[in-house]
Amino acid sequence: MNNFEDYKVHIQYTFNAFCKVVIRHAAIDIILKLRRRWEREVSLDYLMNEKFVQLAEPEQLEEYLFTACDQTAVLYHAELAAALARLPEQTQEEIYAITSCASRSE
């Protein structure tokens, strides 16, 4: 009977050692995964630093003026400005009246 109890204790110690190894390796895997992620990430402080080189200029929008009902609107789309300029004056005034009413209601 003593041998059986010794065997049970041995199995328990072996199982505990196995669990410790599995948990240790899982923790190491998580640490390595986090370290790889941190190495790839760029700090927000670095991006906001004055020394950061801006790779592209912000796009400068070209302005087109549209006048109707003695009011001037600024358009940023060339085709729209050209299409509105080709319309009769009465239609231009109607479009301006509709859009100005819609913008006031918002």
The arithmetic mean of pLDDT across residues 9-36, rounded, is: 95
pLDDT tens column, 37-54:
988 887 777 777 766 566
User: With a threshold of 0.75, does the pTM exceed it?
Assistant: no
Q: Nearest-5° angle of CA 30, CA 35, CA 41? A: 125
Q: How far apart are CA 43 and CA 50, in angstroms?
A: 14
| Residue given tokens 């992620």 in the structure block | 37
Residue type, 71: Q
Give the pLDDT of residue 101: 62
